[in-house]
């Protein structure tokens, strides 16, 4: 089980949570306060009155304008093996393309990217896995919505889906007052068939993400306590501990 959650996490981040870095995004300095205020104060239409284009514009204003962090709960299922495992921890995102996932249960490990290098650190074994972030998180593989919503329509066919029922962390709550976006990769990928974003109305918080692949494996990630705040870029660098066992993803 431990190996499934640790080594299987590469699939999760290729399919779900990384950012796509572009020169335009790197050169852009966001107006954090103005965009947050716009998202918080502008009345949101009912789900039946909004188009996916309108929703993407609103999400772009909110999520491209500020760094953010959250608590998360993750449930991953490998259908062919009938294995389901869970994990939880904290996550931080800084634009463009930086992220840090710290798993706290069932074991401690971290996934860190500065947009160029990917590190996966397992302190229990003093093991560090290193890879090229763009190899795993570019070309639409990563959920670009977390670093640049404007890229979604280049990589995905987007549509509104029926509001989803959250069924994660022993919860079963309807998303009837919110929105669900379905993202299907334009370029077919075996490891990613569709992404479903569940979005709260009126806050526009992304409350959960569900991904499916062609093998019907599934990952659900529930976000709680979203915090929009300036984050130091140093949080997304990793200093390899002395004596660590180093592995390369591309070898």
Residue 241 has pLDDT above 60, yes or no: yes
CATH number for position 201:
2.50.20.10
End-to-end CA distance of the chain: 24
> What is the mean pLDDT of the segment spanning 13-39?
35
Long-range contacts of 211-218 (CB under 8 A, 24+ apart): 211/12, 211/15, 211/16, 213/11, 213/15, 213/189, 214/190, 215/79, 215/80, 215/190, 216/79, 217/11, 217/76, 217/77, 217/78, 217/79, 217/80, 218/76, 218/77, 218/79
pTM for this model (two decimals) = 0.76
Write down the pLDDT at residue 48.
54
| Residues spanned by the domain of 68 | 2-248
Is the pLDDT confidence value at 61 over 90?
A: no
For the stretch 106-110, contacts whose Cβ atoms lie closer than 8 Å and that sit 24 or more positions apart, written own/partner, are 106/1, 106/2, 106/5, 107/2, 107/5, 107/6, 109/6, 110/238
3-class SS string, the chain: CHHHHHHCHHHHHHHHHCCCCCHHHHHCCCCHHHHHHHHHHCCCCCHHHCCHHHHHHHHHHHHCCCCEEEEEEEEEEECCCCEEEEEEEEEEEECCCEEEEEEEECCCEEEEECCCEEEEEECCCCEEEEEEHHHHHCCCCCCHHHCCHHHHHHHEEEEEECCCEECCCCCCEECCCCEEEEEEECCCECCECEEEEEECCCCCCEEEEEEECCCCCEEEEEEEEEEECCCCHHHHCCCCCCCCEEEECCC
- Confidence at residue 207, expressed as pLDDT on a 0 to 100 scale: 94
Strands 117-122 and 109-113: antiparallel
Q: What is the pLDDT of residues 77-98, one digit of tens each?
A: 999 999 999 999 999 988 777 8
Q: How many domains does the chain have?
A: 1
pLDDT at res. 123 = 94
- Over the stretch 177-219, which tens digit does the pLDDT of each residue have? 799 999 998 888 778 899 999 999 989 999 999 999 998 899 9
CA dist 171 and 165 (Å) reads 9
């Amino acid at each position: 089980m431990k190996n499934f959650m640790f080594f299987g996490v590469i699939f999760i981040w290729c399919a779900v949570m990384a950012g796509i870095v572009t020169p335009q995004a790197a050169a852009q300095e966001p107006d954090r306060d103005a965009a947050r205020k716009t998202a918080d104060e502008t009345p949101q239409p009912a789900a039946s009155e909004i188009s996916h284009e309108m929703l993407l514009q609103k999400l772009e204003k909110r999520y491209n304008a500020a760094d953010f962090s959250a608590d998360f709960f993750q449930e991953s299922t490998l259908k062919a093996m009938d294995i389901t495992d869970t994990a939880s921890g904290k996550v931080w995102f800084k634009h463009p393309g930086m992220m840090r996932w710290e798993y706290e249960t069932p074991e401690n490990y971290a996934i860190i990217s500065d947009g160029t290098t990917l590190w996966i650190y397992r302190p229990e074994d003093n093991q560090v896995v290193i890879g090229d972030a763009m190899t795993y998180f570019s070309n639409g593989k990563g959920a670009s919505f977390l670093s640049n919503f404007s890229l979604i329509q280049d990589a995905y066919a987007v549509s509104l889906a029926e509001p989803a029922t959250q069924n994660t962390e022993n919860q079963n709550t309807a998303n009837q007052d919110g929105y669900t976006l379905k993202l299907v990769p334009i370029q077919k990928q075996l490891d990613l068939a569709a992404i479903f974003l569940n979005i709260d109305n009126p806050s526009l918080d992304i409350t959960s993400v569900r991904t499916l692949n062609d093998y019907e494996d599934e990952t659900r990630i529930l976000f709680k306590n979203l915090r929009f705040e300036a984050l130091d870029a140093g949080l997304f660098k990793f200093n390899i501990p002395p004596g660590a066992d180093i592995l390369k993803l591309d070898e």
